[in-house]
């Protein structure tokens, strides 16, 4: 049986559950047997009951947040083969995909998913340590792009939250996106700087070379220059050279720095980082692994929750 049919059937049950009348009295705990039975009956009505088995497992009782509700994992088996897993918040009769805190606008589902997330083991031996101490027990892996606006916000948050903490190691995984014209060269600048003992992470994030490009485009347009791919490529290359020169001036050996920026060693390190991101199924920035647990995007509440455990 195709997984799509199973997913459609499960979503149909989700929608149907919203039409029932609510009970006036709320039980102290979620009745997971009711949920399991209702889902099983839904598959039976769809003519799939003989092959499909539904299993509901409680991951966490939410009595302190939502009395009578629990965070559960629904597993769907087809002929004893696990074909789908879904996590929801439920009291047994009703369930929801998410609950949003009206004060913070944070997602309860995100927090619970993070709490019960699988811990990934990431080999950091070939990654660049961008902050903290390599021997620390708390490991932060940051998949980032120096021209990504949300990566910039995340860097500011980490900078502020980690300034009074010491028991952490922060590693960089470069994922310069094609949509950001200078991201690749900025990653090379970072790696070259680190090889010479200069950590330009904050300087690169706080720079605004997109604005430099926009200003130069405006100047060309005012001068009546026709913009085409050749003109834009030349302009971007010029800004890339400006970036290299700007950061070379911050070092004690500009010529060595410039040579390192374009070295095969630096370029291969960034390519290896891109492959690691691909292996982790990450194609967008920012993304983080904090002590092995993944956070996708700039999810401030989750990042703060994860960093709160670091001393």
CA separation, residue 13 to residues 10, 55, 216 (Å):
5, 15, 56
**Residue 27 in this model has a pLDDT that exceeds 70:** no
**Residue 25 in this model has a pLDDT that exceeds 60:** no
**Residue 18 in this model has a pLDDT that exceeds 50:** no
**Residue 47: predicted pLDDT:** 86
pLDDT band at 212 (very low <50, low <70, confident <90, very high): very high
pLDDT tens, position by position, 36-81: 999 999 999 988 878 899 999 999 999 998 999 999 999 999 999 9
Strands (DSSP E) contained in 133-190 are 139-144, 169-174
**Residue 49: predicted pLDDT:** 75
| Mean pLDDT taken over the chain | 91
**Residue 29: which of 99, 94, 92 has the closest Cα?**
92
**Taking a C-beta distance cutoff of 8 angstroms, is the pair 196, 257 a contact?**
yes
- In the chain, % of residues over pLDDT 70: 91
User: Domains (ranges, CATH) in the chain?
Assistant: 3-115 (no CATH), 128-307 (3.40.30.10)
Q: What does the pLDDT average to over 216-232?
A: 93
**Residue 14: predicted pLDDT:** 45
pLDDT tens, position by position, 177-209: 999 999 999 999 999 999 999 999 999 999 999
CA distance 278 to 280: 5
pLDDT tens, position by position, 250-286: 999 999 999 999 999 999 999 999 999 999 999 999 9
**Residue 145: which of 283, 301, 260, 261 has the closest Cα?**
283
**Residue 16: predicted pLDDT:** 41
**Residue 279: predicted pLDDT:** 95
Q: How many H-runs (helices) and E-runs (strands) does the chain carry?
A: 11, 9
Structure pTM? 0.82
């Amino acid at each position: 049986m195709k997984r799509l049919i199973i997913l459609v059937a499960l979503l149909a049950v989700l929608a149907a559950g919203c039409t029932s009348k609510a009970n006036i009295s709320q039980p102290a705990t979620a009745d997971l047997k009711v949920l399991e039975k209702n889902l099983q009956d839904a598959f039976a009505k769809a003519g799939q009951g003989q092959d499909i088995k539904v299993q509901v497992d409680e991951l966490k009782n939410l009595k302190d947040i939502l009395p009578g509700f629990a965070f559960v994992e629904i597993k769907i088996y087809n002929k004893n083969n696990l074909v789908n897993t879904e996590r929801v918040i439920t009291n047994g009769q009703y369930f929801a995909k998410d609950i949003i805190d009206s004060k913070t606008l944070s997602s309860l589902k995100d927090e619970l998913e993070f709490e019960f997330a699988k811990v990934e083991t990431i080999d950091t031996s070939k990654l660049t340590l961008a902050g903290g101490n390599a021997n620390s027990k708390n490991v932060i892996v940051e998949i980032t792009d120096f021209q990504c606006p949300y990566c910039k916000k995340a860097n500011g948050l980490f900078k502020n939250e980690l300034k009074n903490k010491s028991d952490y190691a922060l590693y960089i995984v470069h994922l310069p996106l094609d949509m950001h014209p200078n991201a690749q060269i900025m990653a090379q600048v970072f790696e070259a700087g680190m090889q010479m003992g200069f950590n330009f992470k904050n300087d690169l994030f706080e720079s605004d070379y997109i604005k430099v490009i926009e200003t130069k485009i405006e100047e060309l347009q005012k001068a009546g220059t026709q913009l085409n791919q050749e003109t834009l490529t030349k302009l971007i290359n010029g800004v890339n050279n400006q970036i290299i020169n700007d950061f070379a001036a911050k070092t004690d050996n500009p010529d060595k720095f410039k040579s390192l920026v374009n070295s095969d060693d630096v370029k291969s390190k960034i390519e290896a980082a891109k492959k690691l991101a691909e292996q982790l199924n990450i194609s967008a920035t920012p993304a983080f692994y904090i002590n092995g647990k993944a956070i996708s995007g700039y999810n401030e509440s989750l990042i703060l929750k994860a960093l709160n455990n670091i001393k």
